[in-house]
Structure 1
Amino acid sequence: MQDLTERRRAAFELLGFGALALGLRIAFDPLFWRFAGPVSLVTTLACLALYLRRRDEGWASLGLIHLGTARSRLMVLPKALLVFVFFAIAVAATLFAAEVLGWTFMKVIPAGVEDRWGDVEGNLPLLLLWLGIVWTAAAFGEEMFVRGFLVTRSLTLFRGVPFAAVFAVLLPALLFGFGHAYYQGLRGLVTVTAIGIAFGAAFLVLKRNLWPIVLVHGIVDSINFVTLYLGVERQSPVG
């Protein structure tokens, strides 16, 4: 009975906070399209933090574990390397599948990417603004919500179901990809979903430790924004 109650609560939380994040993004979209995603995510996290506090549950239970010793902090780096390997495999597999299946849309930069980030090139203040967003709303925010909250609650929801871990990684990854499709198109949906699967799998392999994933997410997006600033290439950051 208790297990059924926990699964029902997990389903309620997934639907409730998923709908809140999507609804806020839609509401903010006409006001500030470029920043609707980050602002809606931060607002959702604020509501989630209040909810977790009422349940006497902290972010440590969702993956932001306390790194109390020097050894635990140093171990973040080799674990981050493992996360990067997962990330690289996901990107390589996506590119390979695109070639084999003839997905020509994967070779076209969506118009939304240019509209959102096209003026970063040569604009240092704008670069610094986006880097700030990368390390708050993207690296920390998305990982806390998508991996820390959605994956954890999905594990509860699918408890006892065959391949529960697979579903618990796949469902949040699909939501992660869908959340980027509004400006990255089908290419973003496919690529970001694959990255979401890689990050979700790494989250479970690392026993729900978010810190290495946050680090890799932030570094990858930061590199992409610096290349945009330098005019080297037009790539879409993860977040």
Structure 2
Amino acid sequence: MNNQKKNPLVNPASQVKPIHALIDLSIFLSVMFLIREVHIEQIGFWGNGLLRSISTVGVATFLLYYRKQSWRDIGLIKPDNIWRMLGIAGITFISTIVCIILYEIISSGPEETTGVVEEITRVVEKSLAFQIFIVIIIWTESLLEELQDRGFSLNRFESLFGNKLISTILAVLIQAVIFGFRHSYDLSDRSITTGMIGLVFGIVYVVSGRNLWPLIIAHVILNSMSIQNHL
């Protein structure tokens, strides 16, 4: 009888052998960072971001298929309850905004917080007039980032460290650091706040049952709020 204590936060379907996780992560992360060196001026910020995400998720899809897995195994499944899904998405979004505002207070002082709130309001109002193809890009990019960061990356790091609670904690932290770093490539306010987003999303993904759809919805809202800076 196997008396080894299992980590209740780990999704058994996502687990692969540590050596296989190491190989998969080596390939996946190499593509993720090397593809960032490709920049096509004509398609702009979001177009290049979409191209990079499609390439990275394409590699992740192949690796999952090779390991006899699918995206369903790591969270791309229909939620059991749509209201619960929307509730988790709302909690994720609000928690993220609160963390960002707290960081602004700590790093810049309370006088800067009003500017953050005004920026959120202005972007939300402006987003109503966006062209439909920009909205499609936002939704697609949000989906792809959740697949590659919370879906593939977090689960593979977890498999790399073994079926223990500490492995889940490390996986959540590492994917958040990578998520923040690849959005800025330095230790800036952007990389820190993006890393905080990755941390909140990673925690919610694990503790809420590993369904990616609430995170995708919250990610869509956050990306919609930031898009005006890149048009």
In the superposition, the TM-score normalised over structure 1's length comes to 0.72
1:166 positional shift? 2.3
Decide whether the 8 Å contact of 1:86 with 1:199 is kept in 2. no
2:184 equivalent in structure 1:
181
Decide whether the 8 Å contact of 1:60 with 1:66 is kept in 2. no
1:185 positional shift? 7.6
Decide whether the 8 Å contact of 2:60 with 2:152 is kept in 1. no
Written as runs of structure 1 = structure 2, the 5 A alignment for 1:121-136 is 127-136=131-140
- 1:44 pairs, out of 44, 47, 56, with 56
Decide whether the 8 Å contact of 1:45 with 1:145 is kept in 2. yes
Structure 1 unaligned residues grouped into runs of 5+: 108-120, 229-233
1:85 equivalent in structure 2:
94
Distance of aligned partners of 1:32 and 1:224 in 2 relative to their CA distance in 1, 3 Å threshold: closer
Number of aligned positions between the proteins: 202
Distance of aligned partners of 1:55 and 1:164 in 2 relative to their CA distance in 1, 3 Å threshold: closer
| Structure with more relative contact order (C-alpha pairs < 8 Å, separation 6 or more) | 2
Decide whether the 8 Å contact of 1:177 with 1:192 is kept in 2. yes
1:64 positional shift? 0.9
Asked if 1:6 corresponds to 2:17, the answer is: yes
| One-letter amino acid matched to 1:176 | F
Aligned-residue CA RMSD (Å):
3.1
1:159 positional shift? 2.2
1:162 positional shift? 6.9
Could you list the runs of 4 or more consecutive aligned residues of structure 1 that deviate by over 6 angstroms after TM superposition? none
1:25 equivalent in structure 2:
36
1:57 positional shift? 0.8
1:91 positional shift? 1.2
Deviations 1:88-131, CA, capped at 9 Å, x for gaps: 3321332133136xxx9xx9xxxxxxxxxxxxx89x67x43332
- 2:154 pairs, out of 146, 151, 154, with 151
Asked if 1:166 corresponds to 2:173, the answer is: no
1:99 equivalent in structure 2:
108
Instruction: Give, in whole Å, the separation in 2 of the partners of 1:13 and 1:56.
Output: 13
Instruction: Give, in whole Å, the separation in 2 of the partners of 1:223 and 1:99.
Output: 21
Using the aligned pairs only, state the percent identity: 25
Instruction: Give, in whole Å, the separation in 2 of the partners of 1:172 and 1:129.
Output: 29
Structure 2 unaligned residues grouped into runs of 5+: 1-15, 116-125
Which secondary structure does the structure 2 equivalent of 1:75 belong to?
A: helix
| One-letter amino acid matched to 1:159 | G
Distance of aligned partners of 1:196 and 1:85 in 2 relative to their CA distance in 1, 3 Å threshold: same
Distance of aligned partners of 1:211 and 1:162 in 2 relative to their CA distance in 1, 3 Å threshold: closer
Distance of aligned partners of 1:223 and 1:27 in 2 relative to their CA distance in 1, 3 Å threshold: closer
Instruction: Give, in whole Å, the separation in 2 of the partners of 1:163 and 1:90.
Output: 24
1:210 positional shift? 0.9
Instruction: Give, in whole Å, the separation in 2 of the partners of 1:191 and 1:57.
Output: 32
